[in-house]
Amino acid sequence: MEAAPPETGTWAIQPAGPLVGDVRVRGSKNAVTKHLVAAIMGGRPSTIRNAPEVGDVDITSQILESLGVGIERAGSLITVHPTDSPAPMVPVEFTGLNRIPILLLGPLLNLVGEAFVPLVGGDQIGRRPVDFHVAALKALGAEIEVRDDGVAAKAGRLRGAKIELPYPSVGATESVLLSAVLAEGKTVLKNAATEPEVTELALFLQRMGASIELQPDRRIVIEGVEHLDGASTTLEGDRIEAWSYLCAGVVTGGEVRVVGCRQDRMVTAINVLHRMGARVDVTDEWTTASAADGLHPVAVSTDTHPGFMTDWQTPLMVLLSQADGMSVLHETVFENRLVYVPALQQMGVEVELFSACLGGPACRFHETNNLHSAVVKGVSALRGAEVNVPDVRAGFSSVIAAAAADGPSTLRGIHHLERGYHRPAEQLMSLGLDLRTA
């Protein structure tokens, strides 16, 4: 169903000892792109600061420009110049490049009453259907046609509705926020996602003039307004990047000091490091982690916020391989997220996959054939290898394994990693990694 972009980018990595030094993280890919979409509904330009320079921002900017929206980028500052009459169709050339087009349905309906978006892509970590988005928009009064090449929609003014998500999906919650803010009347969304990036989007929309109440028990109440204005914001630091670099430091026997990501965005991850016996130091400005005395095995299940996030589990897998004993990792958000494990096995990580729910209560994938639990044996001897990187987070796990291996590695498909990490080659080289790009 989903077209995949071409595989590009190769890194040759030569292990060069412990990774040590500072990394400053910028705002997250999973917040900035949604802010760009929200900003097209403003009556005036919006500015987004601390934006990362990642492939997903390039793709999203090009999508918005194809609609007639002006995007000005100057380092970490992005200015969005909305247009009164955007083109209603996202061109099919954007098929499968990222997950942003589906989020444009609501804003385009709000602005021009019709929309077509091509099939969305993103990492191949599960089926990733868009049925919750479609059902929510139908509840808000849109007529939707799901076609082979994408989704077409029409509506007069959207009308507020009561919506309950079958699962607290990040994207579907964002779809409802972006649609209901300009709808007529009240929308009550139950079982909403509460990830920090979702809250950041809600706060940005509130600055634009939206009426949004974040209530207890995963409820969001949105009172539609007639008009949104431009707004200005500074994005919070990317908690996935922060965790990835902390793990890179620990696995290589070094210590990376991550600057720019608040502790409250990392609390569950830091707790796992504590449980593994790592030393973690946290201040208002930075976090460091190291494990001079080795690591203990643990059992971890991924979950929706405030649980251990699914995007953190790829670097964790390499960390578990360096713990002294058997660890268990249970992925409960995306049924195919462990697709990257063969690459790590090639690099010496001793891990077996199971379709049973191990190390936690049964999840949505119990009694399926999806290999979504892993038993990892430490301490695995990591070795250099030639591997293909299947997705953005998996890419970083291969980098960490390569940095701690006994010989050189070649990683292909690095464009996946560059879609979500800010200038990763530069950052890793500044920590002492011997990395050549091709």
Collapse the DSSP code of 244 into the 3-class scheme (helix H, G, I; strand E, B; otherwise coil) and give the result.
Answer: helix
Is residue 265 within the footprint of ligand EPU (CB under 6 A)? no
* DSSP designation for 336: T
User: Half-sphere exposure of residue 396, counting CA atoms within 13 Å on the CB side?
Assistant: 31
56, 123, 303, 391: which is the annotated catalytic residue? 123
What is the Cα–Cα distance from 171 to 308, expressed in whole angstroms?
A: 18
What is the Cα–Cα distance from 301 to 306, expressed in whole angstroms?
A: 12
In our burial notation (b when 16+ CB lie closer than 10 A, e otherwise), range 171-189 reads bbbbbbbbbbbbbbeebbb
CB of residue 422 vs ligand EPU: minimum separation in angstroms? 13
- Which of 128, 257, 330, 372: binder of ligand EPU (CB under 6 A)? 128
- Which of 11, 116, 132, 312: binder of ligand EPU (CB under 6 A)? 132
Residues 99 and 122 sit within 8 Å (Cβ to Cβ): yes
By beta-carbon proximity to ligand EPU, the closer residue of 405 and 428 is 428
For residue 38, give the nearest of 29, 25, 48 by alpha carbon. Answer: 48
Is residue 333 within the footprint of ligand EPU (CB under 6 A)? yes
Pairing relationship of beta strands 114-118 and 143-147 according to DSSP bridges: unpaired
Q: Which stretch binds ligand EPU (CB under 6 A): 164-172, 212-220, 266-274, 347-355?
A: 164-172
Is residue 169 within the footprint of ligand EPU (CB under 6 A)? yes
CB of residue 32 vs ligand EPU: minimum separation in angstroms? 10
Q: Is the dihedral of CA 345, 350, 355, 360 positive or negative?
A: negative
CB of residue 49 vs ligand EPU: minimum separation in angstroms? 20
Q: Is the peptide bond before 25 cis (omega within 30 degrees of 0)?
A: no
- The pattern of x and - marking residues 404 through 433 that bind ligand EPU according to CB under 6 A reads ----------------x-------------
Is residue 204 within the footprint of ligand EPU (CB under 6 A)? no
What is the Cα–Cα distance from 41 to 207, expressed in whole angstroms?
A: 12
By beta-carbon proximity to ligand EPU, the closer residue of 50 and 288 is 50
Identity of residue 153: A
Two tokens, residue 363: 């999840």
Is residue 179 within the footprint of ligand EPU (CB under 6 A)? no
By beta-carbon proximity to ligand EPU, the closer residue of 387 and 392 is 392
- Which of 131, 145, 367, 406: binder of ligand EPU (CB under 6 A)? 131
- Which of 167, 227, 367, 437: binder of ligand EPU (CB under 6 A)? 167
Q: Is the peptide bond before 306 cis (omega within 30 degrees of 0)?
A: yes
Catalytic site includes residue 22 = no
Is residue 121 within the footprint of ligand EPU (CB under 6 A)? no
* Residues identified as active-site: 123
Residues of the shown chain interacting with ligand EPU in the complex, contacts defined by CB under 6 A: 29-30, 99, 123, 126-133, 167, 169-172, 193, 195, 309-311, 333-334, 392-393, 420
